[in-house]
Amino acid sequence: MRIVVAGGGVAGVSTVAALRAGGFDGDLTLVDAGEFPYDRPPLSKEYLAGSRELKQIALQPPHWYDEQGVRLINECTVAALHPADGTVELAGGLLLRADRVVLATGGGAARPPIPGVGGDRVHVLRTAEDADRLRAALTPGARVLVVGAGLIGAEVASTAVDLGCDVVLADPVATPLAAALGEDLAAWLHRLHARRGITTVRAGVASFAETTDGIEASFVGGAEASFAGGVEPRTFDVAGPGVAAEPSRVFDAVVLGVGMTPQTALAESAGLDVDRGVLVDAGQITSNPAVLAVGDGARTRQGPRVEHWEAARHDGARAAATILGTRAPAPTAPWFWTDRHGRHVEVAGHMETADEVIVRGSFDDPSFSVFGLRDGLVVAAAAVDDSTAVRAARRMIDRRVPADPARLSDPSASLRTLLRG
Amino acid sequence: MTQGIRVAALDDIPEGEGVAIDKAITGTADDIALLRDTDGSVWALDDTCTHEDASLADGWVEDGYVECPLHSSKFCLKNGEVQGLPATRSTCPHRVEVRDGEVYLFPNQAP
């Protein structure tokens, strides 16, 4: 059997690795647009800061592909699928035989249709090339606007302030990540920005305009009048009805961290079902049984599209199991992490489904965590510099271990013991 | 050195957890994580995760594996083999013996 995997992100590489680990001995080809497959989380952190090089964030060491018998076709993309012919067409026209194809094409950084958004000073962050370009702009003293205070935006803001930039972080949402983290923890996390000297503005951007001095951003729904004169770190929150024309400010660089758009063009042109992602079943099979899809660009018919690193890794393992006809790993509670301002934050489960929230420790402690309960069971946890709490919580969620709120809230009570019941 | 270095009492290491032994004591390039599995057995691996700078002794030990506390890389306790991303390199195992409730470490010897 011949398999072609299109895309060398974590989903694609995990698919390939799981296929070989599961005993697949057929022909295996991985097509990737980059110099080699690399890990994306460091692009907003160590790689952007310049403390890690590209080869240090490779998803696999260079010799791995040879050792695993994987043909890596780099700096290339898949141009078209021809399932009826059993071929895949590469950019440049080369045809590869393929009995099964795995689409791991991910997505692109979203660029909302804001006037002026196409200017050279406006950055996104999805690839190493994006990061290289952005890093060149993050010079000490540079005036940087980050639009969007979610995971990517917050991490870029943190890295930029580390690099000595004068950073403004704008998001129209009062408390970014509130659904995923719970209101209190999300608010605490968002306040870290101001403590590090970042100006946070509750606002969106209406337009960008090139000036002789930089790029001017016009804010909507926020940014009170003192914005122009204020240089000290502060938080604005003046969104409200009746606020129309808002102040503007000039920046040297703008970074958009406003989400991603799934890359579905290949699937669409091959006639696959697409709806906000390439639609797949529980085994990652698309509407054509010869084609599977994994990672950020795929979505199960039952649920939302998930954009987290570990979800992509699990997709790869599931796709490999489907192809091999083996049992897929049992699903586990979703999990993601973010690193900003020297704090490591992890989240497991679905905090938005909790009907009770228990704080373990204090928000003033060096580490603490928050557990979300529903009907007496742990359904989510979020922790700051306490990965063990999230490790325990994931097991509690997956195994439906009854929660004891008193012990959960007591930092001196061992969660490992609690897990054992 | 054939007797190994006494590095801990067995009771010092709760099941499912680990303790780090300073490289000044072990004479190794890295600190060594003593890891106690959920079946009570004790294992030793280089302490620093091969993915990012985190201590495996702070990790989660369960069913033959240790999970890094930072980004969940997993390593086999017996031989240090990595079990999938984000880490891509295995880590170094060291021989351990438990005698009379005391844990003895044999740095740089195969388990």
Q: Which residues of A touch B84 (CB under 8 A)?
A: 14, 17-18, 21, 313
Of B69, B86, B89, the CB nearest to A388: B69
Of B17, B60, B84, the CB nearest to A17: B84
Give the chain B residue nearest A57 (alpha carbons).
Answer: B51
Of A60, A391, A414, the CB nearest to B88: A60
CA distance A371 to A360: 8
Mean pLDDT for each consecutive 10-residue tract of chain A (421 residues)?
A: 97 96 96 97 97 95 95 97 94 96 96 93 97 98 96 98 95 90 94 90 89 92 43 40 60 96 96 96 96 97 86 96 94 92 95 95 96 95 93 92 90 81 57
The shortest C-alpha distance from A184 to chain B (Å) reads 23
Mean pLDDT for each consecutive 10-residue tract of chain B (111 residues)?
A: 84 92 94 96 96 91 93 94 88 96 94 88
CA distance A273 to A267: 8
**Lookup: tokens for B29:** 């390039």
Q: Strand, coil or helix: what is A297? A: helix
CB contact under 8 A, B17 and A416: yes
Exposed, middle or buried: residue A123 (CB in 10 Å: 0-12, 13-18, 19+)?
A: buried
Nearest Cα to Cα of residue B94 among B75, B108, B80, B81: B108
pLDDT at A419: 76
Give this complex's ipTM: 0.78
A36 in B contact zone (CB under 8 Å):
no
Give the chain B residue nearest A388 (alpha carbons).
Answer: B69
Q: Cα angle vertex A100, ends A97, A102, to 5°?
A: 110
pLDDT at A246: 54
| Beta-carbon contacts of residue A377 (< 8 Å; ≥ 6 apart) | A396, A397, A400, A401, A402, A403
The 8 Å CB, 24+ separation contacts for A186-194 are: A188/A363, A189/A154, A189/A340, A189/A343, A189/A345, A189/A384, A190/A149, A190/A154, A191/A235, A192/A340, A192/A341, A192/A343, A193/A149, A193/A154, A193/A157, A193/A158, A193/A169, A193/A341, A194/A233, A194/A234, A194/A235
The shortest C-alpha distance from A207 to chain B (Å) reads 38
* CB A364 within 8 Å of CB A384: no
A17 in B contact zone (CB under 8 Å):
yes
User: pLDDT tens across A350-382, in order?
Assistant: 999 999 999 999 999 999 999 999 999 999 999
The shortest C-alpha distance from A42 to chain B (Å) reads 11
CA distance A124 to A134: 8
CA distance A113 to A205: 11
Q: Strand, coil or helix: what is A154? A: helix
The shortest C-alpha distance from A384 to chain B (Å) reads 11
Half-sphere exposure of A258 (CA within 13 A, CB side): 22
Of A10, A344, A416, the CB nearest to B16: A416
Name the helix (H) or strand (E) containing A267: helix A265-269
Q: Where are the alpha helices (DSSP H) in chain B?
A: 23-26
pLDDT at A421: 57
The count of other CB atoms within 10 Å of the CB of residue B92 is: 17
Of B14, B69, B84, the CB nearest to A387: B69
The shortest C-alpha distance from B51 to chain A (Å) reads 9
Name the B residues in 20-59 with CB < 8 Å from any A CB. Answer: 58
pLDDT at A231: 35
A387 in B contact zone (CB under 8 Å):
yes
- Cross-sheet strand order for the sheet of A78-82: A78-82, A87-90, A95-97
pLDDT at A329: 84
Beta strand A278-280 with A199-201 is unpaired
Q: Cα angle vertex B66, ends A294, A399, to 5°?
A: 65
Q: Which residues of A touch B72 (CB under 8 A)?
A: 310, 335, 391
Exposed, middle or buried: residue B60 (CB in 10 Å: 0-12, 13-18, 19+)?
A: buried
Task: Say which amino acid occupies A72.
Answer: L
Give the chain B residue nearest A344 (alpha carbons).
Answer: B70
The shortest C-alpha distance from B70 to chain A (Å) reads 7
Q: Which of A318, A391, A394, A419 to substitute to test the interface with B, most B CBs within 10 Å?
A: A391
**Lookup: tokens for A266:** 């290949």
**Lookup: tokens for A265:** 């063009």
The pTM of the full predicted model, rounded to 2 decimals, is 0.90
Q: How many CB pairs under 8 A join A and B?
A: 39
Give the chain B residue nearest A60 (alpha carbons).
Answer: B88
Of A18, A39, A61, the CB nearest to B86: A39
Q: Quote the radius of gyration of chain B (alpha carbons, Å).
A: 13
CA distance A172 to A349: 25
